Structure 1
Amino acid sequence: MMKVFEKKRINGLELANSFVRSATAEGASLPNDEVSKHHTATLAALAKGGVGLIIAGSASVSPEGGAPGIAGIYADSQIEGHRRTTDAVHAGGGKIALQIFHNGKMTSKAATGLTVLAVSKDNDMGDDVKEMDAADFKRIGEAFVQATVRAKKAGYDAVQFHVAHGYFLHQVLSPMDNRRTDEYGGTLEKRIRFIAESIAATRKAVGPDYPLLLKISSEDFIEGGVTLEDALEATKQFVAAGIDAVETSSGLAGDIARLGINSFAKEAYNRKQAAYFKENLSVPVMLVGGLRSLDVAEIMLKDGVADFISLSRPLIAEPDLINRWKSGSTEKAFCKSCNGCFKPLMTGDAVVCSVKRALEKKNGTT
């Protein structure tokens, strides 16, 4: 049996294989940021398609941290919708985690109706943006804890903290965004503190056996951003605070999903960063970024680059990709790496494969 199809464990969670559906905002949430039927159906299809661990995308931990079309996990009234999703995934034989996040400055008052919170405020941000004070940090830290408690009640098998791509927790870590001079800014140690404290408080709230995951930009590729070395040092402290597995991405929102992944050489474009993390961490590492071929996925595990293979765009195009590969149909994923699938998110609509939809319309199958 290929290594990618062997069973794996994260903390006490047993998984059928090494394939992870990397968190992707599904879009099309209902009023009050509740989970839609589309969201549930999308994730249930991935479970039936053989994905070992499905990470549901980007649930906001607080109302001002959300965005149009993005589900929330900040109120008890939202638990029921999430429970429908976890029930559907478990009925399909899958396991599911929930990624939790806050947008920070990457939202607007027009989107949420609420004042935007920034780790550090620039002069050009306007009156709709507030620089966070100690009370804001305390409230948002507790929001991450309570979001995880709700996720556990809703039946999620794990939770993933989103410390990547320029969102709030990444803003806290980034020296470019965090120019504070108090206990949560300045040195790397201080920029790590809030996130580590939030993880530790969450671990205390949910107990030792509930898997806590981390997604982190291993480096930002911009001057003044997070470096590979700083990201690793931060991750070590997050692991010490209670993280059980780490997904290594890179870059900021808008440039994380590279175009034109049309050769083996272009696949797994975060492999060097993942290998560096795996060499220096005591917990499993998930590699995301441009995986399109079963052979490449297998090589990443055999060569010790990572422990898990994370996919997003290929599973938007082919929810049953993993079962297809396992059955012996090992052609590379259908995904053309055009990023057309993400365009509906700009208006809060559902994420779909634009190439596949165009073909279905042409063939009259929609």
Structure 2
Amino acid sequence: MSFNKLFEPITVGDVELSNRIVMSPMATNLATPEGYPTEELVMYYVRRASVGLIITEYTYVNRVDARGTPNQLGLYSDDLIPKFARLTEAIHNAGTKIFVQLVHVGRKTRRDLIWNNTPIAPSNVPLLEPVREMSEDDINRVINDFVKAAIRAERSGFDGIELHGAHGYLIAQFLSPAVNRRSDRYRDGVIFLEELLKEVRSVVSIPIGLRISVTEFDNEGLTPEMVAKIIKRVEGLLDYVHLSAGRDGPLGSSMPFYYKRPSFIDEAKVVRSTTKLPLFLVGSISTPEDAVKVLEVADAVVIGRQLLADPDWPIKVRLNMPIRPCIRCNQSCRLLATREVRCDVNPELGWELLPTPPKGFGEVVVVGGGLMGMEAARILALRGFDVKLYEKGDKLGGQLNEIRDPYKRAEFMRLVDYYERELKGLGVKVYLNTEFKDDGGNVIYAVPKERQPEFKDYRGLRILLDSNLYAYQDYVFEWVRRNEVYVTDNVFRGLDRARAYLLMEKYRELGVEFVKSPESVKADVVIHSVYRDQPSIGKAIARGYWLGRTYGQLK
């Protein structure tokens, strides 16, 4: 398959993008509490500047009631312009374009995040906390906040502006019939959008786009047909449309591995048939094949989590190099209530400012062919060592080979394929079915101190699972074929809510029973073990990375 179309230029407004790969706006918590870019955030974006366009994370427009997360970007004051100009300068020096995504979160926030003010919304429909219905004065104030933020964006050197009208934020709250219950003229939420676009367009000369959810996953919310009509009404005020999905529920654009990939192409076709505007499309796109398929409908493909997993994705597609895959686990990249963005398969995410480790020479032996060992071998080889990797089993991958969940296995085993290609390209010598005998040389033992529980083949029994260990979640797929299986809420503890929701749906399809308490079932086998901190892919890879990175340093 040819991937050449990905690297064709495209013009948005009067801005030419060097290729059709766009970095999705994703929250990071890498900004300061005051809302300006840190050096960590600047380098996070620079590291991904091989795309044709970077769209920043959502950036709030006032310091009154617009913020949604603690360390979110904000363009609420002229004082912030020099710091944002530093970001745009860095991206331009790296050879690409950058748009800022402006947002007011409306009801999708809490008082403690908006300086103890009451969240506002088009209607008094609470979400996280009680809200106040917006008056016309509030509406005019918020439009003015967007206008001022747009002026700051252009003065900061941004190449364009994207208004965030997706995912249940304020613009989406006006547009969605599920939550807009006003009785005045703004009951037609497109009027608010039109007024906002007209005012913003009157003060800036850079392109303006709109991100909108092409589906909200419920019968009361936006549908592709509704979105097509909305876009048609405001088409003359826009330079492009960015289609995403979701509102307030667990389902959105960042689908876990239980959902089809790539997502939302069928929905996008409805919008495509009614507008000639450049169309951007996001949704679980990770492979080059996915991306080319998207370009059959859209003009640009928006990549999110895959660029967290591998910031060099565009370069590697063009050069046919091994790509570190996003496995759509939705774990470390979704812990933004309390953490900065991280990625289970990319231990460098969020640490882009770390210096390059020193070069090495000579032979190093790595014992253990699981994720820890493969990552350690990869880093050592990149540093210049002659690496030998020993695995006593007949294949690489360690505990990944034990996965029983078919949806998880389809994604996670791509990680093993990546390491096999990467290690081969780096010249790592791999010895399978081999017990290493320590001869006193340079050896790294990359064997986990703890592991997930091994599978036990129960038959004809009543099994009660009251554990959040990942392995047991997998084993349910096997157990339910020959047993009665009951699960408690603890099974889903710690999972991203979209992953938990879809896992529950898969269990229901298989006939798994849900119970509120372990005492409600008289079971033959009871499994109870709830962990706050359990073995995981992310921990194994991170440990291997640091083993390889710090090898040779004095302790």
| TM-score with structure 1 setting the length | 0.91
Report the equivalent of 1:258.
255
Task: In structure 2, give the amino acid aligned to 1:319.
Answer: P
Quote the offset at 1:363 in angstroms. Answer: 3.5
| 2:219 is aligned with 1:223 | yes
Residues in 2 aligned to 1:110 and 1:79: alpha-carbon distance in whole angstroms: 26
Task: In structure 1, give the amino acid aligned to 2:183.
Answer: T
Task: In structure 1, give the amino acid aligned to 2:203.
Answer: A
Report the equivalent of 1:361.
543
Change (3 A) 1:260 1:122: closer
User: What runs of 5+ residues in structure 2 fail to find an aligned partner?
Assistant: 348-538, 551-555
Residues in 2 aligned to 1:363 and 1:350: alpha-carbon distance in whole angstroms: 19
Report the equivalent of 1:214.
210
Residues in 1 aligned to 2:33 and 2:293: alpha-carbon distance in whole angstroms: 44
Quote the offset at 1:35 in angstroms. Answer: 1.8
Q: What secondary structure sits across from 1:96 in the alignment?
A: strand
Quote the offset at 1:219 in angstroms. Answer: 1.6
Quote the offset at 1:295 in angstroms. Answer: 2.0
Report the equivalent of 1:335.
326
Report the equivalent of 1:300.
294
Query: Would the aligned equivalents of 1:292 and 1:332 in 2 still touch at CA under 8 Å?
Result: no
Quote the offset at 1:7 in angstroms. Answer: 1.1
Quote the offset at 1:6 in angstroms. Answer: 0.8
Residues in 1 aligned to 2:200 and 2:127: alpha-carbon distance in whole angstroms: 35
Query: Would the aligned equivalents of 1:278 and 1:284 in 2 still touch at CA under 8 Å?
Result: no
Q: What secondary structure sits across from 1:88 in the alignment?
A: helix
Q: What secondary structure sits across from 1:316 in the alignment?
A: helix
| 2:274 is aligned with 1:280 | yes
CA shift digits 1:95-130 (9 cap, x unpaired):
10011111101111112222211211148987x632
Change (3 A) 1:223 1:356: same
Task: In structure 2, give the amino acid aligned to 1:21.
Answer: M
Query: Would the aligned equivalents of 1:261 and 1:336 in 2 still touch at CA under 8 Å?
Result: no
Change (3 A) 1:115 1:90: same
Residues in 1 aligned to 2:14 and 2:170: alpha-carbon distance in whole angstroms: 29
Query: Would the aligned equivalents of 2:9 and 2:19 in 1 still touch at CA under 8 Å?
Result: yes
Residues in 1 aligned to 2:131 and 2:170: alpha-carbon distance in whole angstroms: 14
Query: Would the aligned equivalents of 2:313 and 2:323 in 1 still touch at CA under 8 Å?
Result: no
Query: Would the aligned equivalents of 2:109 and 2:128 in 1 still touch at CA under 8 Å?
Result: no
Quote the offset at 1:354 in angstroms. Answer: 2.5
Quote the offset at 1:333 in angstroms. Answer: 5.1
Equivalent of 1:201 in 193, 199, 202: 199
User: What runs of 5+ residues in structure 1 fail to find an aligned partner?
Assistant: none
| 2:299 is aligned with 1:117 | no
Runs of 4+ in 1 over 3 A off after TM superposition: 122-126
| 2:234 is aligned with 1:243 | no
Instruction: Write the mapping of 1:21-32 to structure 2, written as runs, cut at 5 A.
Output: 21-32=23-34
Instruction: Write the mapping of 1:89-168 to structure 2, written as runs, cut at 5 A.
Output: 89-113=91-115, 114-122=117-125, 129-168=131-170
Residues in 2 aligned to 1:192 and 1:199: alpha-carbon distance in whole angstroms: 10
CA shift digits 1:19-47 (9 cap, x unpaired):
00011112132132222222111111111
Equivalent of 1:10 in 5, 9, 12: 12
| 2:265 is aligned with 1:271 | yes
Q: What secondary structure sits across from 1:345 in the alignment?
A: coil
CA shift digits 1:297-354 (9 cap, x unpaired):
12332x3x1110001100011111111111222x56510101123333112x321212
Query: Would the aligned equivalents of 2:7 and 2:20 in 1 still touch at CA under 8 Å?
Result: yes
Task: In structure 2, give the amino acid aligned to 1:106.
Answer: K
Q: What secondary structure sits across from 1:46 in the alignment?
A: coil
Residues in 1 aligned to 2:126 and 2:75: alpha-carbon distance in whole angstroms: 32
**Higher helix proportion:** 1
| 2:316 is aligned with 1:324 | yes
Quote the offset at 1:194 in angstroms. Answer: 0.5
Q: What secondary structure sits across from 2:171 in the alignment?
A: helix
Q: What secondary structure sits across from 2:89 in the alignment?
A: helix
Q: CA RMSD in A?
A: 1.9
Equivalent of 2:285 in 278, 285, 291: 291
Task: In structure 1, give the amino acid aligned to 2:281.
Answer: L
Task: In structure 1, give the amino acid aligned to 2:285.
Answer: L
Query: Would the aligned equivalents of 2:310 and 2:323 in 1 still touch at CA under 8 Å?
Result: no
| TM-score with structure 2 setting the length | 0.60
Q: What secondary structure sits across from 2:212 in the alignment?
A: strand
Residues in 2 aligned to 1:55 and 1:228: alpha-carbon distance in whole angstroms: 23
| 2:301 is aligned with 1:309 | yes
Query: Would the aligned equivalents of 1:144 and 1:202 in 2 still touch at CA under 8 Å?
Result: yes
Task: In structure 2, give the amino acid aligned to 1:16.
Answer: S
Change (3 A) 1:107 1:247: same
Change (3 A) 1:221 1:69: same
Residues in 2 aligned to 1:247 and 1:333: alpha-carbon distance in whole angstroms: 26
Task: In structure 2, give the amino acid aligned to 1:119.
Answer: P
Residues in 1 aligned to 2:290 and 2:128: alpha-carbon distance in whole angstroms: 44
Residues in 1 aligned to 2:292 and 2:136: alpha-carbon distance in whole angstroms: 47
Q: What secondary structure sits across from 2:298 in the alignment?
A: coil
**More divergent stretch after superposition (81-90 vs 220-229):** 220-229
Query: Would the aligned equivalents of 2:107 and 2:128 in 1 still touch at CA under 8 Å?
Result: no
In percent, how many aligned pairs have the same letter?
Answer: 30
Query: Would the aligned equivalents of 1:340 and 1:355 in 2 still touch at CA under 8 Å?
Result: no
Q: What secondary structure sits across from 1:238 in the alignment?
A: helix
Task: In structure 1, give the amino acid aligned to 2:131.
Answer: V
Task: In structure 1, give the amino acid aligned to 2:208.
Answer: L
